[in-house]
A = this chain, B = another copy of it.
Amino acid sequence: MVVEVSGCNPDVLNDLDRVKEILRESALQANAEILELAFHHFAPQGVSGVVVISESHLSIHTWPEYGYAALDVYTCGEKTDPWRAMEYAAEKFEATTIVKTEIARGQEIEGRPRVYGHSVVETEVMRDGMAVVS
């Protein structure tokens, strides 16, 4: 799940500990098992970080000066819910707009055993409290 969140609280986006905690909790909200965390704060501003989970990873890159962050939620298996992770993170960042595209990874290409591709499932735009606007 490829996600852009806009209209976020710049103070949250620029706080390494809060961003890390939000991503960690997003992973747990998605019912994922956390394995590793790697986060970095940039000067003068911005945070990048990744949570490696048993079911793949979550990543975040924030631009506080634009109230914007790029979030990836990559999960596999039936047990995990990337949507829940995305909603949780967007809420904690106080996002007013979310643009989200779902990509199905590792799909075996028809007639070509063990050759894998991916497909773009759909793009959604959500605004102000998760209402779908297009």
Interface size class of A (residues with CB under 8 A): 35 or more
Docked complex Cα distance between A103 and B119 (Å): 12
Q: Is the CB of A50 closer than 8 A to any CB of chain B?
A: yes
Tallying the copies of this chain within the complex gives 2
Beta-carbon contact of A50 and B66 below 8 Å: no
Query: What would 8 A/B residue contacts be, using CB atoms closer than 8 Å?
Result: A39-B52, A49-B52, A50-B52, A59-B59, A63-B106, A70-B106, A72-B72, A101-B120
Q: A interface, by DSSP: helix, strand, loop or mixed?
A: strand
Q: Is the CB of A12 closer than 8 A to any CB of chain B?
A: no
- A115 and B7 in contact, given A38-B38, A59-B50, A63-B106 (Cβ under 8 angstroms): yes
Q: Is the CB of A26 closer than 8 A to any CB of chain B?
A: no
